[in-house]
Structure 1
């Protein structure tokens, strides 16, 4: 029997990309999604945070829901809804969008320095303004398309 192992480093001078992974929480109530409005920019966003080195993506969902909008996401009703590879002046990022269909608690803003409003918005009437990458991800979410790219020239 021959055992094949993967090389420890890429062959030649291939640059291995390193990028941030952002976890986005789509708390759902019927056809509405919970958004928060950023105090600094006035943009509506989903509760989100970079994935920490020591946590799984689903653990990040529970942390973000608890820290940002003070709800407890139910693991049995939390699943990956989409993946986005985003490119902007800040660099490359991968966004993981998780849908949370059941949670405990009434959403409130935990840190008013970060967010000044929260609200439930229908998928048919999304809030404005919002980042273009989020609009792209939510449009794909409403179709069977689970992977999107944003900010790349074609």
Structure 2
């Protein structure tokens, strides 16, 4: 059986790749068993753990910021509600004052009308007295 030079070249290249792959796998296995590799793996795991913790802390900070913001909003809403209640109380007080003022005006008007009625009654009584005096005389 004869092989062409191209087939031999292909075989050599394939053998070279297989050998390089074998060497890489062997090196990788040796590195995995070495103390440095163990330390690197440990540091990578620790780094991942720290990254996870950092992400958790960021989430917690964000939640706390949201909660703090919500507390501020609730406080502002409460203050606005208190102001609304205060405004309603003031409106009620103003309405009471207006009613009292109107009532006092009505009383003053009634008192003035009573005076006018009294004066009119007195004038009418005098006129009747004079009329009766003139009829008698």
TM-score normalised by L of structure 1: 0.16
Structure richer in helix, relative to its length: 2
* Larger RCO, structures 1/2 (Cα 8 Å, 6+ apart): 1
> Which of the two has higher C-alpha Rg?
2
Structure richer in strand, relative to its length: 1
